[in-house]
Each structure stands twice: as structure tokens, then as C-alpha cells.
């Protein structure tokens, strides 16, 4: 079984201020809408759940954040700005109040959507945690702690630093920092081709979009997790050493009623190896919430 398919539909939507948002869709066009906030520096091109979205009747929608892929840059944008963009897209694409999946660096953007009422249910999968929280300072490795401190003290300088990244550097960082169980996914020829394409598109306008995402994700999050009022599931692979210092224990405790799942035998590639239980659970939570 493959991990991801090429998109069934690609398009761009114009926002009221004239900016464009690029999106990709998989599954039936009249299926249950699932909005994906993808990981660091990846474009709309990389979905998940090959075959699963069709079987479950899911309309999976992935969106290029501003400055990535084909989406118009929005310098200085905030998490709230992103949630506002998603609210507009939901109206234009007739998504209603979709369930939202946040993967890796897309996690805080998905949480912002939940905090601002855009989502009807939420799944954080291998999510970038709020590493700037004081509770984590003593357990971060030296390099990451240095980046967190730099982002806090000099966000503009940190953003300029992150703007030096490239698609190849991102690929190399993921390949050297992942356990073997994840590399079995990432180095699968079809997945690797899709991932490399998504990274290439993510940096197609330069690295400013990725840099803005990273400064936002690596700083203190401005939204109130304890006010999220929709069902939430927090998923981590047991061997994931890069996304959360505690595999989401503190994150799950901060979101009211969140269910915390730790899956053995996998790390950060969890979204692609366990798409069916993640999506099935998410759809069930959304139905019970309504």
C-alpha cells in the first residue's frame, strides 16, 4: 500500500485582500471535509492516507501557507491571520466547519484554527510542541534551546536565520534526524518523490514563508489552548524524538478533554503509517460533538 497519492484536484482561491491561497484535494469532492495543515516547508502537494480517504469518504484539503507553494506571501502574519485565511477558504470552498489535522510544524496552525472556531474537531499528529514553554527549557538539546532563546530575544534575527534554509537542507535534516522506522517511509521511492516535490514547491518563492512559520511555531503561542471547545486527539509515535520533548503529554493536558495517543513502532512518520485510525477517530469525534 502506498502512503500518499498525487492530488485529485489542484487550485487557487483569491482572498478578499487579493492574495491567493493554493490548495490540493484528494477523495470525493462531496466527501466529509478534512483540512490538513502540513508540516514544515511542505506544499499542498503532500497528502496522506492513500486509498483511505476514498474508502472513508473523506475530502482531504491541504493548503499552502502564505509564502509557500503558490500562496501569496504575507510578511509579518500571525496565527490569527492564518485562522482568518482558513475561515475565508472554508466559505469559498464550501467546507463548512471542517475537521482539522495538524502535522509537525502545521500543529500550532491547526490549534489556532481550533481556538478560533474554524475547526469542528482536531487531530494533532506528530505535532511541533510549544518548545518555548519554561517547563521544557531543561530538557531541550543545546542547539534547539539556543534557537528557542534566539527566537525569543531577537525574532527578526531568528527569522533572517531561518530564511537561509533550502529544500535540500530540510531533506537532509529530516533524513539524518529520523529513526529507521521513519526512514522506511520517507525513503520509499513514491513517498520520497512526493516529499521532495513538496519541499521544492515549499521553497519555490524562497525561504521567507518557512522562516515566518518557524518563528511563530518556535515562539510562545498566543492562543489559549485551555479554551479550545472542540474534540481533540493528540497523536505521537513512541520513537518520535524531534517533535515534542514529552511526546505530547503536556500538550494534551492543556487542551480540555483531549485524548492522548502514543503509538509503538513508529516515530514522526505516524501520519502516513496510521492514516486510517487517525481519520476514523477524527470523523467519529466530529459526529459526536455535533
pLDDT digits (tens, 9 = 90+) for 216-237: 999 999 999 999 999 999 999 9
- Band (pLDDT 50/70/90 cuts) for residue 287 is confident
Q: What is the mean pLDDT of the chain?
A: 97
CA 20 → CA 37, 155, 288, distances in Å?
17, 26, 34
CB 148 within 8 A of CB 155: no
Which pTM does this prediction carry? 0.98
pLDDT digits (tens, 9 = 90+) for 51-99: 999 999 999 999 999 999 999 999 999 999 999 999 999 999 999 999 9
CA 185 → CA 85, 182, 190, 262, distances in Å?
32, 5, 9, 18
Q: Which three cell numbers stand for residue 191?
A: 513517498
**What is the pLDDT, as a whole number, of residue 39?**
98
- Supply φ then ψ for residue 144, to 5 degrees: -65, -40
Fold of 7-287: Rossmann fold (3.40.50)
d(CA 53, CA 84): 26
Amino acid at each position: 500500500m502506498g502512503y500518499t497519492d498525487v492530488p485529485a484536484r489542484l487550485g487557487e482561491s483569491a482572498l478578499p485582500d487579493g492574495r491567493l491561497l493554493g490548495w490540493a484535494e484528494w477523495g470525493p469532492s462531496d466527501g466529509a471535509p478534512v483540512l490538513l495543515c502540513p508540516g514544515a516547508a511542505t506544499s499542498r502537494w503532500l497528502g496522506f492516507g492513500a486509498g483511505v480517504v476514498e474508502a472513508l469518504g473523506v475530502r482531504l484539503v491541504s493548503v499552502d501557507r502564505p509564502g509557500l507553494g503558490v500562496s501569496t506571501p504575507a510578511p509579518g502574519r500571525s496565527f490569527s491571520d492564518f485562522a482568518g485565511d482558513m475561515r475565508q477558504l472554508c466559505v469559498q470552498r464550501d467546507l463548512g466547519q471542517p475537521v482539522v489535522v495538524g502535522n509537525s510544524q502545521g500543529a500550532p496552525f491547526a490549534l489556532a484554527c481550533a481556538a478560533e472556531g474554524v475547526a469542528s474537531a482536531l487531530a494533532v499528529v506528530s505535532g511541533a510542541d510549544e518548545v518555548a514553554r519554561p517547563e521544557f527549557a531543561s530538557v531541550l538539546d543545546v542547539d534547539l534551546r539556543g534557537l528557542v532563546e534566539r527566537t525569543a530575544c531577537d525574532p527578526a534575527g531568528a527569522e533572517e536565520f531561518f530564511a537561509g534554509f533550502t529544500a535540500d537542507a530540510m531533506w537532509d535534516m529530516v533524513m539524518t534526524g529520523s529513526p529507521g522506522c521513519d526512514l522506511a517511509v520517507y525513503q520509499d521511492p513514491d513517498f520520497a518523490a512526493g516529499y521532495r516535490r513538496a519541499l521544492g514547491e515549499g521553497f519555490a518563492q524562497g525561504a521567507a514563508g518557512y522562516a515566518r512559520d518557524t518563528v511563530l511555531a518556535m515562539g510562545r503561542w498566543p492562543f489559549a489552548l485551555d479554551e479550545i471547545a472542540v474534540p481533540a486527539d493528540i497523536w505521537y509515535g513512541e520513537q518520535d524524538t524531534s517533535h515534542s520533548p514529552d511526546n505530547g503529554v503536556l500538550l494534551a493536558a492543556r487542551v480540555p478533554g483531549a485524548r492522548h495517543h502514543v503509538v509503538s513502532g513508529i516515530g514522526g512518520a505516524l501520519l502516513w503509517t496510521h492514516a486510517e485510525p487517525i481519520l476514523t477517530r477524527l470523523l467519529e469525534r466530529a459526529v459526536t460533538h455535533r
